[in-house]
C-alpha cells in the first residue's frame, strides 16, 4: 500500500479522502490556494503545499504544478476527488509518465467516456441501451417518419445547432409528425441559420438513476446498487437517495447488470458511476459515465457499509477489491442533502460571505461530510456546496424523518443556505411517495412555500425582534451616558443590520 498520497482537491471531498487515508496509515499531502490556508483540508492533512492564487485555474487546475509538488514530496499516488482534474485525461497521462499513480481509470477509458457521442457509440457497441434516435440530421421527411415509427412515439425533434429550446418539438402522434418537422426546421433555420433536425425518443417523466461500480485490475467488476438523483436545480443534484424508491427488483437487476457490462466493455478500473435516464415505463437508457468518485457516494456507503475511497486506494495500489458481488448486500435506506450557500428564494443564486456559526447535527444515523467550520469564508472562487448531510435508517420513511430532524438541528449563519428548502423537500408528499421526476422542483416549488411553518413560529420571531430591540436601545442608552459597554459585538452587528 502507498505510504504517502497527494490529494488534488479541496473542501469536503479532500477531507473525505484524508479520513480514509489516515485510517489506512497513509500520509496525506494537501495542496491549497492562497485563500485556503485556514481551510479544513489543510488543517487535517499531514503535509500541505500552497500552489497558487485563489482562482481555481491558477491553483487547483494547475496539473503541472500539482505534479511537481507530488514528485518533490514523494507522493506515490494522487487522488483527484471530483471536479477539477478528476476527469482530465492529459493530467492522468502526465501522472503515469512521472511514475505517480492516478487514483482513477486509465486516460483511454476517460477519453472514451468523456465525449457524449463517443460514449454513446461505445455503449451501443457494448449492447447498453441508449436513448433511441438518429445520430445525424435527417433530410428526407419520409425517412425521418420511418425512424420515428421505429423509435416509437412520443418523439422529440431537436435542432442540430440547437439550444434554449428553439427548434425543439415534442410529437405525441404520428399524424402530427410532418407538420412538426416542418415547424422545427423553420424555427431552427430562423434561430441558427441551420435547418438540420434530429429525431430522438422522448423520455417521459424521466428519473435520473445511477449505478455505482467498482472494478480492480484483476478483472473483478462489481456494482453497489443504485442511487436516485432526480431532485435537481440548475441541472445540479441537490437531494439523493439509495436505494431508489422508483426502481423495482427487476429494474434493479437490469440496470446493475447493464452497468457492470458497460464497465467491462470499456475495461474500466477503479470507482465509477453509470448514469441512466429511466422513463415512466421503467425503460432505462444510458446517459453518461462518470469516471470518478461522485459527490453523493455516501448514500451508497451507508446502505452497503463499503468505504469507497478505501477500495479506490486498494485498486490504485494494484490490489484486488475486498468484496465479491455476493458480499455486497444493502441494508436500510439513506438520504443525502447537499447543503449549499445559496438562496432558494432567489432562483438558488449562490451566496458568499463569512460563516460565523456552523454547528452540525448528530445523533443516530447521521453523517456530515463538511468542508467548512465556524469562521470559514465562502468565496466566489469555489463551489457553493458547503457540506453533505446524510441520514440512514432501517426504512425510507424513517430515513426521511431523520433527515428532517437533522436539518432542523443544523446551524449555519453568515451566508444564505438551502436548509429550509431541503426541509420543504423532505415534507413534500410527492417526495414522500417516491414518484418524483427530474422536473420535481420546477413543477412543485414556489419560494412562497417556505412560509415559516405557522403562527407560533412567527410569534417567536416577533418576540426575538422585540428582545433584540430592547437590547439595542439599552446599549444606546448606556453609550449616551458614556458607560463602557461590555457587549459591543452584538451592538455593531445589530447596527449593521
Which position among 141, 430, 467, 485 is part of the footprint of another protein (CB under 8 A)?
467
**Residues β-bridged to residue 390:** 336, 367
Contact criterion met (CB below 8 Å) for 63 and 43: no
Binding region for another protein (CB under 8 A) out of 283-291, 326-334, 384-392, 464-472: 464-472
Which position among 456, 481, 482, 486 is part of the footprint of another protein (CB under 8 A)?
456
Which position among 124, 430, 464, 485 is part of the footprint of another protein (CB under 8 A)?
464
- H/E stretch holding 385 reads strand 385-393
CB-nearer residue toward another protein: 74 or 375: 375
Cis peptide before 271 (omega within 30 of 0): no
DSSP state of 465: H
Q: Does 474 bind another protein (CB under 8 A)?
A: yes
Residue 318 vs residues 167, 220, 292: alpha-carbon distances, Å: 50, 12, 17
CB of 382 to another protein, least distance (A): 22
C-alpha grid cell, residue 167: 427548434
Distance of CA 480 to the CA centre of its chain: 53
Q: Which residues in the 209-268 window bind another protein by CB under 8 A?
A: none
Q: Does 460 bind another protein (CB under 8 A)?
A: yes
* Cβ-based neighbour number of residue 187 at 10 Å: 20
CB of 490 to another protein, least distance (A): 8
CB of 450 to another protein, least distance (A): 6
Whole-number Å distance between alpha carbons of 360 and 407: 9
Q: Does 411 bind another protein (CB under 8 A)?
A: yes
Binding region for another protein (CB under 8 A) out of 192-200, 229-237, 292-300, 412-420: 412-420
CB-nearer residue toward another protein: 124 or 464: 464
CB of 453 to another protein, least distance (A): 3
Q: Does 403 bind another protein (CB under 8 A)?
A: no
Binding region for another protein (CB under 8 A) out of 150-158, 197-205, 328-336, 404-412: 404-412
CB of 477 to another protein, least distance (A): 10
**Residues β-bridged to residue 215:** 221, 270
3-class DSSP assignment, residue 143:
helix
Which position among 125, 466, 483, 488 is part of the footprint of another protein (CB under 8 A)?
466
As to burial, measured by CB atoms within 10 angstroms (0-12 exposed, 13-18 middle, 19+ buried), residue 265 is middle
Q: Which of 117, 113, 68 is nearest to 91 (CA)?
A: 68
- H/E stretch holding 369 reads strand 366-370
CA angle (127, 131, 137) in 5-degree steps:
110
As to burial, measured by CB atoms within 10 angstroms (0-12 exposed, 13-18 middle, 19+ buried), residue 163 is exposed
Q: Does 468 bind another protein (CB under 8 A)?
A: yes
Q: Which residues in the 356-395 window bind another protein by CB under 8 A?
A: 356-357
Which position among 23, 459, 479, 483 is part of the footprint of another protein (CB under 8 A)?
459
Which position among 143, 449, 463, 485 is part of the footprint of another protein (CB under 8 A)?
463
3-class DSSP assignment, residue 152:
coil
Residue whose cell numbers read 500520509: 27
CB of 420 to another protein, least distance (A): 4
Binding region for another protein (CB under 8 A) out of 78-86, 146-154, 222-230, 454-462: 454-462
Q: Does 407 bind another protein (CB under 8 A)?
A: yes
CB of 332 to another protein, least distance (A): 24
Whole-number Å distance between alpha carbons of 418 and 342: 6
**Residues β-bridged to residue 272:** 213
Q: Does 479 bind another protein (CB under 8 A)?
A: no
**Annotated catalytic, 252?**
no
CB of 40 to another protein, least distance (A): 21
C-alpha grid cell, residue 114: 468523456
Which position among 3, 37, 413, 439 is part of the footprint of another protein (CB under 8 A)?
413
**Residues β-bridged to residue 48:** 30
CB-nearer residue toward another protein: 141 or 467: 467
Binding region for another protein (CB under 8 A) out of 50-58, 136-144, 237-245, 461-469: 461-469
CB-nearer residue toward another protein: 484 or 489: 489
Whole-number Å distance between alpha carbons of 297 and 208: 15
CB-nearer residue toward another protein: 164 or 482: 482
Contact criterion met (CB below 8 Å) for 288 and 119: yes
Residue 348 vs residues 232, 339, 340, 357: alpha-carbon distances, Å: 11, 12, 9, 21
Annotated active-site residue in 16, 227, 233, 292? 292
Kindly report the backbone phi and psi dihedral angles of residue 75, in degrees, each rounded to the nearest multiple of 5, phi listed first: -75, 135
Contacts with another protein, residue ranges (CB under 8 A): 356-357, 404, 407-408, 411, 413, 416, 419-420, 423, 450-454, 456-471, 474, 493, 497
Q: Which residues are catalytic?
A: 292
Amino acid at each position: 500500500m502507498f505510504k504517502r498520497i497527494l490529494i488534488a482537491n479541496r473542501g469536503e471531498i479532500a477531507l473525505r479522502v484524508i479520513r480514509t487515508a489516515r485510517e489506512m496509515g497513509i500520509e496525506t499531502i494537501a495542496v491549497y490556494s492562497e485563500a485556503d490556508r485556514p481551510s479544513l483540508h489543510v488543517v487535517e492533512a499531514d503535509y500541505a503545499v500552497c500552489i497558487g492564487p485563489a482562482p481555481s485555474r491558477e491553483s487547483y487546475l494547475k496539473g503541472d504544478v500539482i505534479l511537481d509538488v507530488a514528485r518533490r514530496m514523494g507522493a506515490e499516488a494522487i487522488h483527484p476527488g471530483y471536479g477539477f482534474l478528476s476527469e482530465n485525461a492529459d493530467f492522468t497521462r502526465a501522472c503515469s509518465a512521472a511514475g505517480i499513480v492516478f487514483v482513477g481509470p486509465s486516460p483511454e477509458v476517460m477519453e472514451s467516456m468523456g465525449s457524449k457521442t463517443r460514449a454513446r457509440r461505445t455503449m451501443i457497441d457494448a449492447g447498453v441501451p441508449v436513448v433511441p434516435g438518429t445520430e445525424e440530421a435527417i433530410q428526407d421527411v419520409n425517412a425521418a417518419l420511418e425512424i420515428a415509427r421505429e423509435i416509437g412515439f412520443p418523439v422529440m425533434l431537436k435542432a442540430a445547432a440547437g439550444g434554449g429550446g428553439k427548434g425543439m418539438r415534442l410529437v405525441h402522434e404520428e399524424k402530427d409528425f410532418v407538420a412538426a418537422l416542418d415547424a422545427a426546421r423553420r424555427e431552427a433555420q430562423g434561430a441558427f441559420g441551420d435547418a438540420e433536425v434530429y429525431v430522438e425518443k422522448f423520455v417521459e417523466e424521466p428519473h435520473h438513476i445511477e449505478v455505482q461500480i467498482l472494478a480492480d485490475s484483476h478483472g473483478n467488476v462489481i456494482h453497489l446498487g443504485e442511487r436516485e438523483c432526480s431532485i435537481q436545480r440548475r441541472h445540479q443534484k441537490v437531494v439523493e437517495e439509495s436505494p431508489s424508491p422508483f426502481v423495482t427488483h427487476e429494474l434493479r437487476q437490469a440496470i446493475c447488470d447493464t452497468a457492470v457490462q458497460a464497465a467491462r466493455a470499456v475495461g474500466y478500473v477503479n470507482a465509477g458511476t453509470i448514469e441512466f435516464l429511466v422513463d415512466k415505463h421503467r425503460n432505462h437508457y444510458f446517459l453518461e459515465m462518470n469516471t470518478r468518485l461522485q459527490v453523493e457516494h455516501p448514500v451508497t456507503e451507508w446502505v452497503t457499509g463499503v468505504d469507497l475511497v478505501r477500495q479506490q486506494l486498494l485498486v490504485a495500489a494494484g490490489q484486488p477489491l475486498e468484496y465479491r458481488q455476493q458480499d455486497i448486500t444493502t441494508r436500510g435506506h439513506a438520504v443525502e442533502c447537499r447543503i449549499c450557500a445559496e438562496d432558494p428564494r432567489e432562483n438558488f443564486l449562490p451566496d458568499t460571505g463569512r460563516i460565523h456559526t456552523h454547528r452540525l447535527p448528530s445523533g443516530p444515523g447521521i453523517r456530515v461530510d463538511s468542508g467548512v467550520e465556524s469562521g470559514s469564508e465562502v468565496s466566489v472562487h469555489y463551489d457553493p456546496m458547503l457540506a453533505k448531510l446524510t441520514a440512514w435508517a432501517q426504512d425510507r420513511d424513517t430515513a426521511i424523518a431523520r433527515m428532517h430532524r437533522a436539518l432542523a438541528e443544523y446551524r449555519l449563519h453568515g451566508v444564505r443556505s438551502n436548509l429550509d428548502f431541503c426541509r420543504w423537500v423532505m415534507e413534500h408528499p410527492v417526495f414522500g411517495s417516491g414518484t418524483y421526476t427530474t422536473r420535481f422542483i420546477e413543477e412543485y416549488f414556489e419560494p412562497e412555500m417556505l412560509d415559516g411553518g405557522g403562527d407560533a413560529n412567527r410569534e417567536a420571531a416577533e418576540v426575538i425582534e422585540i428582545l433584540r430591540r430592547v437590547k439595542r436601545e439599552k446599549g444606546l442608552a448606556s453609550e449616551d451616558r458614556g458607560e463602557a459597554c461590555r457587549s459591543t459585538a452584538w451592538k455593531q452587528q445589530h447596527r449593521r443590520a
